[in-house]
Amino acid sequence: MRIISTGLSMIAKKVAFLVVGCWLFSTSLSAAVIPPTAGPHTVSFSADQLTVKDSGTGYSAVVQVESRLTVGVLIGEPVFTCVASWKLLSVYAGDDGFDAGLTGSSQGSFSVTKLPASVLNDIVLYDVDIAYPLAPGLAIKNNRLMLCDAGIMKTAGSNKPSFNFPSSPSWSELFWNDISDRYEEPQRAKELYVDMLSAYEERSSEKSGFFSWMSSPADKWPASVQSASINLWAVKSWLRKSVRESAERAQREAEAFEKKKTTLVDRNGKAGDDAFDSFMTAVYQKDKAKRTFAELDQKKATKPDNAAADREKMIASLPNSTCADSESLARINGDWEAGGKMQKALGACAGQSFTAEFVATEECGGEYEHHGLGFGGPTISYFCGWSKHYFADRNGRQLTPAVYSLTTGFSDDGFAAVLKGDIDFDHSGWIRSTGDWQVINRHFDVVKSLDSTRYYVVHQSFRGNRLIFLDRDTNKYGALDGRFNVVIPAKYDSLDRFDAKLGTAKACNKTSRGKSECAQIDMRGKPTTAFR
């Protein structure tokens, strides 16, 4: 068994460079003074009513969303969590008019009180992005939006909040400017967040306690749902099933009436009005049922892809980019105080270093064919280009299955990039493709898939909590931080590894005359010496 420490450079025979992209967090502080720790501060927000359309069915629904936002700071980084619940007020059936006609309403809508509990349970509201004000009571401005994904919503009308994990984006991805169509610069984001922390701390101390749908809107403040998706297939299929069952029932009743030996005229030859009316009604109902069957068969509904949405599966696949394990955070989820509880739980692990060993096995992680010539003619030999690996603790205890081929090792922030799956070699043994890379946290949960077409890392381990990468599009070098953010844009013709003690690296660019001018740059890319 071969053990390679993830803190050292990986030496691989003819191994290509690591492909990586960007992920969470940046660490430097600018003019705004960000405390090492702050909060959590929690504020409740009143219901926002909106119409959400289901593109899969053509149906739409009017919903109300109430939420809570918890904000704070851990090791100098922003941390926030939002949880929400929702009500379903009404449903509009379809765009083509057919399903709308099935409702029996001129508007094509019906009250949710008609829906069985089983149908309500299968309606899934998801991808709920909520914009919050910088201070409770302030208007939400398009030039400074703080957006939060509310996580996995419970059923409509539930008094339980959504299932969610805390978020900690980089300062450069904290406040969205809808006017300029970009995020606020890190320095400005820090200034805004400091003010936001102060306002939320004041408001959370004034108003606290049990969150309820019955609370007065005056006790809360407005938030704004920017976007949401909904799966209304359960309503569409229930409506069509109900209409078909109603038609079948009417048809059976009409046929049963026809089988009766009903006398339409009396002995004197006089028509019986009631009997005749009943007979004609039966004929009409039978004919109407046949038309309904024909229309339903002609306009069959196809189950859309989003109808497969399952809350339990969505919860299981919800990314967790925190230092705490998903199971521990899942146990905290469930009440309206979850945001604050989770952020307090993160305080126990935030900033702790993490190490793991990358252990090679005898299982092959990528074969290649070698074509040659022998005395008997052409020959083909098969060689293993790289082994499958797993992560182990310092005592050698296996922590993961042996499914990885390459890794950067874990950064000081507890994140690593890994290649899961086989490496693709050409017939000469050179790497043709390293497949798809992913970022994992210290619990080996996948945080993000990486773009394997643009970036690759020159040195396959961290130094000074930095990775040097090459941008394939520009053929320039830059650096990633320990959370896989681009902290130094790709703008240098060459860039050495950082000195972990000095926190500097040598960067060079070629002049128009083909000569190289070099300087020392710091961890954020700022020159500490002049280019010469």
Q: Check if the beta carbon of residue 432 is closer than 8 Å to that of residue 425.
A: yes
Q: What gap in Å lies between CA 468 and CA 342, rounded to an integer?
A: 34
CA atoms within 13 A on the CB side of 311: 15
CA–CA separation, 454 and 483 (whole Å): 18
| Long-range interactions of 420-427: CB distance < 8 A, separation 24+ | 421/365, 422/365, 422/366, 423/15, 423/365, 423/366, 423/385, 423/386, 424/366, 425/366, 425/367, 425/368, 425/385, 426/368, 427/368, 427/369, 427/370, 427/371
**Separation CA 485–CA 472 (nearest Å):** 17
Choose among 20, 42, 29, 72: nearest CA to 171. 29
Residue type, 63: V
Whether residues 223 and 241 fall in one domain: no
Classify residue 321: in a domain, yes or no: no
What pLDDT was estimated at residue 218?
47
Does any domain span residue 156? yes
Domain that holds residue 253: 235-286
Token reading at 394: 């310092």
Domain end point (choices 186, 202, 232): 232
- 176 and 251 share a domain? no
**Inter-residue contact 389 to 360 (CB < 8 Å):** yes
Helix (H, G, I), strand (E, B) or coil at 177: strand
Q: What are the residue ranges of helices labelled H in 26-108? A: 98-102
Spans of the chain below 50 pLDDT: 1-31, 208-214, 216-218
Give one DSSP letter per residue of 113-143, joined into a string: GGS-HHHHHH-EEEEEEEEE-SSTTSPPPTT
Residues 99, 11 share a domain: no
User: Same structural domain for residues 69 and 164?
Assistant: yes
Q: Cβ–Cβ contacts within 10 Å for residue 435, how many?
A: 16
**Beta strands 416-420; 357-364: pairing state:** unpaired
Residue 149 within any structural domain of the chain: yes
- Cβ burial of 66 (10 Å; 0-12, 13-18, 19+) is buried
**Which pLDDT value is given to residue 270?**
56
Cα(468)–Cα(478) distance, integer angstroms: 6
Q: Are residues 456 and 467 in the same domain?
A: yes
**pTM metric for this prediction:** 0.64
- Strands of 421-532, DSSP E: 424-425, 431-433, 437-440, 446-449, 455-457, 467-471, 476-480, 486-492, 494-495, 505-510, 516-521
User: Are 425 and 413 contained in the same domain?
Assistant: yes
Residue among 336, 83, 79, 84 nearest 197 (CA): 79
Write the DSSP assignment of 417-450 as a string of letters.
Answer: EEEES--EE-TTS-EEE---EEEE-TT--EEEE-
Domain shared by 373 and 384, yes or no: yes
Residue-level pLDDT at 150 = 94
Does the residue 330 lie in any domain? no
Residues 197 and 166 in one domain: yes
Per-residue pLDDT tens over the stretch 464-485: 788 888 887 888 999 888 888 8
Is the backbone of residue 514 left (phi > 0), alpha (psi -120 to 50) or beta?
left
Say whether both 387 and 253 belong to one domain.
no
The pLDDT assigned to 1 comes to: 30
Q: Which pLDDT belongs to residue 227?
A: 92
291 falls within a domain: no
Identify the DSSP state of 460: S
Residues 172 and 42 in one domain: yes
Which amino acid makes up residue 188? R
